[in-house]
């Protein structure tokens, strides 16, 4: 479904990702975890090419792009692969001058050129799915953080992407509002939505992820089933990190 092969990413002289290779199965949920600066968000953004890899290969479904230093990839090819993904950002990124339903409709109408009536019907169905049907005409500024993130999830799902990418989807929320988002993502996971999320939220990762990839200093330290990595990790570095996550989770409750 998704294949990342030998992904390297440089920012100037700083090598942030060092030959990362990860395979993600269709219908699975994969959590990218690791310390701040470890590379998890950069890797996530390389999947939908918000960050272009310096080198390596990105595959989503039947679309494959190869990156090599100094060789420019065509914009149309980037756009074609990016359309396979939906993105949920840490800070929601809703249009403040659009209502909830207009935010969900926006990409369908402006990018995919759907008729307004069809886009509105799709948007309404998705707002209902994420428990926001009662806020269709609300402005983002009047919504709680959890409500804004649920609208953002509906927007990301609108074009029926092959994979939903979530970059720290709960980190801007307090625990109670974060639970709303965890519940929605858990529902999507149970329905077979393919998801990849960069997160340090142990509750989110342990509840809905089937696979975990632990990144530190731009390399994959450990990967495997979430139940194994979170309970009996093999690497000492992973053990220390999971212990820190558990301590933070306990302090936030």
* The pair of three-digit structure tokens given for residue 155, joined into one six-digit string: 């927007």
For range 10-37, the mean pLDDT: 94
Domains in the chain: boundaries = 2-84+163-252, 96-160
Which pLDDT does position 17 carry in this prediction?
96
pLDDT tens digits, one per residue of 82-135: 999 999 999 999 999 999 999 999 999 999 999 999 999 999 999 999 999 999
Which pLDDT does position 221 carry in this prediction?
95
Which pLDDT does position 175 carry in this prediction?
84
Q: How many whole angstroms from its chain centre is CA 49?
A: 13
Residue 120 backbone class (left: φ over 0; alpha: ψ -120 to 50; beta: rest)? alpha
User: pTM score, two decimals?
Assistant: 0.93
Please identify, in words, the CATH class of the domain defined by 2-84+163-252: alpha beta
pLDDT tens digits, one per residue of 173-232: 988 889 999 999 999 999 999 999 999 888 888 889 999 999 999 999 999 999 999 999
Contacts of 244 (CB under 8 A, 6+ apart): none
Residue 147 has pLDDT above 80, yes or no: yes
pLDDT band for position 253 (cuts 50, 70, 90): low
């Amino acid at each position: 479904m998704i294949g990342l092969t030998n992904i390297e990413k440089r920012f100037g002289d700083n090598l942030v990702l060092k030959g990362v290779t990860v395979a993600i199965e269709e219908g699975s949920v994969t959590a990218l975890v690791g310390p701040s600066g470890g590379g998890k968000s950069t890797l996530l953004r390389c999947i939908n090419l918000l960050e272009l890899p310096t080198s390596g290969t990105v595959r989503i479904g039947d679309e494959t792009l190869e990156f090599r230093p100094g060789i420019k990839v065509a914009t149309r090819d980037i756009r074609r692969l990016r359309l396979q993904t939906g993105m949920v950002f840490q800070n929601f990124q809703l249009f403040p001058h659009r209502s909830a339903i207009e935010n969900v409709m926006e990409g369908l109408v402006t990018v995919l050129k759907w008729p307004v009536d069809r886009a509105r019907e799709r948007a309404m169905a998705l707002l209902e799915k994420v428990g926001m049907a009662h806020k269709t005409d609300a402005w983002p500024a009047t919504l709680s953080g959890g409500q804004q993130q649920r609208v953002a999830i509906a927007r990301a799902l609108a074009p029926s992407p092959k994979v939903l990418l979530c970059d720290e989807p709960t980190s801007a929320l307090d625990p109670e509002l974060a639970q709303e988002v965890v519940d929605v993502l858990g529902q999507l996971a149970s329905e077979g939505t393919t998801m990849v999320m960069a997160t340090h939220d142990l509750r989110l990762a342990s509840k809905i992820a089937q696979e975990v990839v632990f990144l530190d200093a731009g390399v994959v330290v450990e990967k495997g089933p979430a139940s194994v990595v979170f309970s009996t990790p093999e690497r000492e570095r992973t053990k220390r990190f999971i212990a820190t996550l558990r301590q933070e989770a306990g302090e936030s409750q």
